[in-house]
Amino acid sequence: MPGELKTELKSKSRAEGKLVVLKLGGSVVTRKEKRMTPNLEAIKMLAQEVAQADVEYLIIVHGGGSFGHPLAEQYRIKEGFKERSQIEGFSKTHQAMLELNKLVVDALIQHNIAAFSVIPSSCIVTKAGRIESLDNCQIDMLLNMGLVPVLFGDAVLDEDQGFAILSGDQLVAVLARSFKASRIILGVDVDGLYTADPKAHSIAQPITHITLADLKSRISAIEQTRVTDVTGGMLGKILELMPAIGAGIPTMIVNAGKRGNLYKALKEQEVPGTLITKE
């Protein structure tokens, strides 16, 4: 039994091709306009939908929203360690993210999902803000045990600049590629990509499907669809996800704030949003 268990847990291939990497945007799980305020109704609804969809292998990554971003910005964590006064902010940003993560994981556990918090800053050191390896996070072992790893955008140590902000989007792309995910679902607070900013232009049309090549040529149009945040707005998200999409992992952007959308996306049912594929 111990030998068998060991092989089983250390096996690298179990989730390959069956794994869904789900991002829950900070704008969905928090109230972005109010500092350190979770959107508890949304968190509960999303936990319900994840439970109902019952995906075999799932990794969840959530954003920072009004928890991580204001502190990260205030202390300029993204720029790296420049002066001692930032140390306090590095510690506070991490702590705020742990608080939000707790709320998300608690809700998942309440819906009988074997969610397990994996803390980025405890297993990842970036180099100039980029992930070099996920090996220490033991994601494989957790997936093989039937657990749902839950990570988040975090303030992390950085080899070159002392510390950095590791965005949830970068995590999603690297996780999806490293563990050969079948799909990425990006749950945001808009209905996907548009041909123009729908808030500014009434002629803006939703994009239901786009290839990577098309997307690249349209990218300047997307640039203006959302207000930027410290991890980049929608353009930042797309740029981070491109290597994963380029590796052949289809990415669905849905408005996870609207009831039922996340469930449908997880079940591969038709749902309003934008599907981005390699070809």
Q: Can you tell me the distance from the alpha carbon of 143 to that of 55, in angstroms, rounded to the nearest whole number?
A: 12
Q: Does 23 bind a second copy (CB under 8 A)?
A: no
Q: Does 163 bind a second copy (CB under 8 A)?
A: yes
Binder of a second copy out of 51, 109, 204, 239 (CB under 8 A): 109
Q: Does 142 bind a second copy (CB under 8 A)?
A: yes
Crossing angle, helix 65-74 and helix 85-110, to 10 degrees? 170
Q: Does 138 bind a second copy (CB under 8 A)?
A: yes
Site string for a second copy, 75-104 (x = CB under 8 A): ------x--x--xx-xxx-xx--xx-xx--
Binding-site size, a second copy (CB under 8 A): 47
Least separation in angstroms between CB 70 and a second copy: 16
Site string for a second copy, 1-20 (x = CB under 8 A): -x--xx--xx----------
User: Which among 52-60, 71-79, 154-162, 213-221 is the span making contact with a second copy, rule CB under 8 A?
Assistant: 154-162
Q: Does 40 bind a second copy (CB under 8 A)?
A: no
Least separation in angstroms between CB 28 and a second copy: 21
Q: Under the rule (CB under 8 A), what is the footprint of a second copy?
A: 2, 5-6, 9-10, 81, 84, 87-88, 90-92, 94-95, 98-99, 101-102, 105-106, 109, 112, 114-123, 125, 136-138, 141-142, 145-147, 157, 159-163
